[in-house]
Homo-oligomer: A and B are copies of this chain.
Amino acid sequence: MKTVFTNAVILIGAGNWRPIENGYIAIDGDRIMEIGSGPYLGAADSIHDMSGKLILPGLYNMHSHTPMSILRGVGTGLALQQWLFECMFPLEAKMNAEDMRIGCRLAIAEMLSGGVVSFSDMYHYPADYVQEIIDAGIKANVSFPIMEENPTGSQAHDSRFNLSVEFVRAFDESAGGRLKADFGIHAEYTNTPESMERYARVCQEMNGRMHLHLSETAAEHDRCKQRYGKTPARLFADLGVFENPTIAAHCVFAEPEDIELFREKGVSPIHNPSSNMKLGSGLMPIRAMLDAGVRLTIGTDSSASNNNQNLFEEIHLAAMIHCGFHRDATVIRAEELLDMATINGAIAQGRPDCGALKAGYKADLIAVDLRRPHLIPNHDTAALLVYSAQASDVVLTMVDGRIVYEDGRLLTIDCEKMAADADASLRRVFSVDVASAG
B residues near A334, Cβ cutoff 8 Å: 76-77
B residues near A288, Cβ cutoff 8 Å: none
Cβ contact within 8 Å between A324 and B76: no
A-B pairs with beta carbons under 8 Å apart, 11 shown: A77-B383, A83-B329, A109-B373, A277-B323, A278-B319, A280-B326, A283-B324, A307-B388, A317-B317, A390-B390, A392-B392
CA of A390 to CA of B391 in the docked complex: distance in angstroms? 9
Q: Within the complex, what minimum Cβ distance (angstroms) separates A220 from chain B? A: 13
The stretch that binds B, out of A125-133, A158-166, A414-422, is: A414-422
Question: How many copies of the polypeptide does the oligomer hold?
Answer: 2
Cβ contact within 8 Å between B324 and A277: yes
- Which of chain A's residues 71-93 have a Cβ closer than 8 Å to chain B? 71-74, 76-80, 83
B residues near A274, Cβ cutoff 8 Å: 320
- Which of chain A's residues 319-366 have a Cβ closer than 8 Å to chain B? 319-321, 323-331, 333-334
CA of A323 to CA of B326 in the docked complex: distance in angstroms? 16
CA of A83 to CA of B328 in the docked complex: distance in angstroms? 12
Cβ contact within 8 Å between B329 and A387: no
Residue among A313, A377, A380 with the highest chain B CB neighbour number at 10 A: A377
List residues of chain A with CB under 8 Å of any chain B CB.
Answer: 70-74, 76-80, 83, 106, 109-110, 113-114, 218, 273-274, 276-283, 303, 306-310, 313, 316-317, 319-321, 323-331, 333-334, 371, 373-374, 376-380, 383-384, 387-388, 390-393, 415, 418-419, 422, 426
Cβ contact within 8 Å between B76 and A387: yes
B residues near A333, Cβ cutoff 8 Å: 77
Q: Within the complex, what minimum Cβ distance (angstroms) separates A259 from chain B? A: 20
Cβ contact within 8 Å between A329 and B278: yes
B residues near A373, Cβ cutoff 8 Å: 106, 109-110, 113, 415, 418
Cβ contact within 8 Å between B388 and A308: yes
Cβ contact within 8 Å between B70 and A377: yes
Closest B residue, CB atoms, query A324: B277
Given A109-B373, A387-B307, A390-B310: A280 touches B379 (CB 8 Å cut-off): no
B residues near A276, Cβ cutoff 8 Å: 324
Given A72-B388, A377-B73: A282 touches B327 (CB 8 Å cut-off): yes
Q: Closest 9 interchain pairs by CB?
A: A277-B324, A392-B392, A109-B373, A76-B383, A277-B320, A307-B387, A280-B329, A73-B379, A110-B374
CA of A106 to CA of B388 in the docked complex: distance in angstroms? 13
Q: Contacting A330 at CB < 8 Å: which of B78, B376, B393?
A: B78
Given A218-B327, A280-B327, A323-B280: A73 touches B308 (CB 8 Å cut-off): no
B residues near A321, Cβ cutoff 8 Å: 277, 320-321, 324
CA of A316 to CA of B72 in the docked complex: distance in angstroms? 15
Closest B residue, CB atoms, query A382: B76
Closest B residue, CB atoms, query A335: B77
Q: Within the complex, what minimum Cβ distance (angstroms) separates A212 from chain B? A: 22
Closest B residue, CB atoms, query A386: B76
Cβ contact within 8 Å between B418 and A306: no
CA of A426 to CA of B329 in the docked complex: distance in angstroms? 25
Q: Within the complex, what minimum Cβ distance (angstroms) separates A74 from chain B? A: 5
Given A78-B329, A388-B72: A324 touches B377 (CB 8 Å cut-off): no
CA of A218 to CA of B324 in the docked complex: distance in angstroms? 13
